[in-house]
Amino acid sequence: MDAQAPIAPPDILPVFSHAQIVRVLTGILLCILLSAIDQTVVVPAVPAIAADLNGFGHLAWIVTAYLLTSTASTPIYGKLSDIYGRRALLLPAIVLFVIASALCALSQNLMQLILFRALQGLGGGGLMAMAQASIADVVAPRERGRYQGYMAGTWAVAAISGPILGGWITDHLSWHFIFWINLPVGAAAYVLSSRALKLLPPRRARGLRIDYLGAALLTALITTCLLVMSWGGVAYAWLSWQVLGTTALAVALLAALSVQERMAPDPLLPPRLFGNRAVICGIAIAFLTSGATLGGTFLLPLFYQLVRGSDASSSGALLVPFLLLSTAGAYAAGQSTKRFGRTKPVVFIGLAIACAGFLLLGLMPQSTASSLVALYTGGIGIGLGLCGPTSMIIVQNAAERRDIGAATGALLFLRSMGGAFGSTMVGALLMLRPGESPDARLAGSIQTGFLLCAGMIGLAFVACASMRELPLRSNAK
């Protein structure tokens, strides 16, 4: 096969050898690592950044600004890549991410950092969307499990090393270096991805148009949703006019987006995607499991530190088994789908294990042995690991070839929103339960949060039960 494949219609893709797939994955995984680790490495540095830039009042926007633009841009990247090809979108996204990282490192005040983090999010959204869509282009759904270990391992490296690396850099160097390290990694990702994605045939863009109004409405919708989640119970009461008014605006924008996507000649989020029951169920599973994952990740350090009395370093170490077993679950899911060609049983088993783990955490007495707590959290990790990559396979397998990018973008978008929803809801629970002592209120709220996560997993179980399983394709067409 030539290094530069000839132009092919969007529904026809060549068959790739194992060596070519590994070549593509090498560049793609570096992009995933670059995007994933940037979201975790900055967390330990946030207090130092706020102290240095005198910006404790708007501290959350260091994270929220990135989340806003990366979430909003994900489906846009996906749709554009269906028209112009993955490589044409991925390379500019890497360049934008690297430039924005340098600007973040050079920031002199909090407002500059927030603006540059938003710019960085525009690049980060493209990294993740194009990486997942490119994998779908070269690896058949049934064969994707063979390579799932590489992707799960990349996420594990980012999840485990990010906070450790960020804390060390902040303590021994400066928070500025957290952003500088993106430059050499980004340069390597650009070179490897540029070479690898030449294997993918360019797509024909004739007759297709960009849904600019849909993109604007989607961005506005995501902005209002994130404002509701970040304001509610923190800046304003949930029943305040600010929160209720922003919620009403979000509903109006959702209605306008729905109308626009039905009228647009080439919609950003094709309605035919959401007429596919398997796609809807796969996205619902991703949304709900992401909410439970982020909610649990938010609650577990609080549980270890504030209920069990661990220090910050110890609580971080206690999370490692949860993260590693999640990786093991993702690998097992990939191997199972490859061997049996079925996804529904894998998701059922994963949801059942995760739900049981959250229920046990939510109902356990305070005197429960630490070994049992570790067992429960490990079970949650395995269960969620089984579900995460499998929901992506379900959606990409069910979508038409021409909609792979749009379907991938829609899933990643709603998965991000699910994570924001889950972490916001469990965070709001910590403000409830008046009339109790502070310690009892905190412990009770954390355990109620675990039960809320179990409820989200239960809803995902219902979505899985209502899904008609489609045979996994054995080619990438």
* Predicted local distance difference test score (pLDDT) of residue 5: 43
> pLDDT-based confidence at 8, cuts 50/70/90?
very low
Query: Could you identify the residue written with the tokens 């919609």?
Result: 267
Are 110 and 22 in the same domain? yes
Q: Where are the alpha helices (DSSP H) in 341-368?
A: 344-363
Instruction: Compare 124 and 303 and report the one with higher pLDDT.
Output: 124
The count of domains in the chain is 3
Residue 455 and residue 337 share a domain? yes
Q: pLDDT tens digits for 392-417? A: 888 878 877 777 777 777 787 788 77
Q: What are phi and psi of 232, to 5 degrees?
A: -60, 125
pLDDT of residue 358: 93
Which among 189, 206, 223 is the end of a domain? 206
pLDDT digits (tens, 9 = 90+) for 80-98: 777 777 788 888 999 999 9
Q: How far is CA 26 from CA 131, 191, 202, 470, in A?
A: 11, 11, 20, 30
| Same-domain status, 458 and 342 | yes
Give yes or no: residues 232 and 347 share one domain: no
Question: Would you state the pLDDT for residue 2?
Answer: 39
Q: Half-sphere exposure (CA, 13 Å, Cβ side) for 426?
A: 32
Are 8 and 129 within one domain? Answer: yes
Look at residues 263, 285, 303 and tell me which one is the last residue of a structural domain.
263
pLDDT in tens, 279-291: 888 889 989 998 8
Average pLDDT over residues 258-268: 82
Domain co-membership, 284 together with 223: no
Q: What is the pLDDT of residue 47?
A: 63
Domain of 76, CATH number, reads 1.20.1250.20
Q: Tell me how far apart the alpha carbons of residues 286 and 409 are, in angstroms, rounded to a whole number.
A: 12
How far does CA 339 lie from the centroid of its chain? 26
Query: Which residue among 263, 279, 301 closes a domain?
Result: 263
Confidence band for 386, pLDDT divided at 50, 70 and 90: confident
Helical residues (DSSP H) of 399-468, grouped into ranges: 404-429, 438-465
pLDDT band with cut points at 50, 70 and 90 for residue 107? confident
pLDDT tens digits for 311-322? Answer: 655 655 667 777
| 305 lies in the same domain as 365 | yes
Same-domain status, 304 and 380 = yes
How far apart CA 390 and CA 350 sit, in angstroms, is 10
Nearest Cα to Cα of residue 467 among 352, 345, 353, 349: 345
Whether residue 111 is found in the same domain as residue 231: no
pLDDT in tens, 193-209: 887 777 766 655 555 56
Q: Which residues pair with 232 in a beta bridge?
A: 236
Same domain, 148 and 166: yes
What range defines the domain where residue 303 resides? 270-477
373 with 304, same domain: the answer is yes
In sequence order, the 6+-apart residues with CB closer than 8 A to the CB of 383 are 329, 349, 350, 351, 352, 353, 354, 355, 356, 357, 457
175 and 274 part of one domain: no
Name the residue among 74, 52, 424 with its Cα closest to residue 226: 424
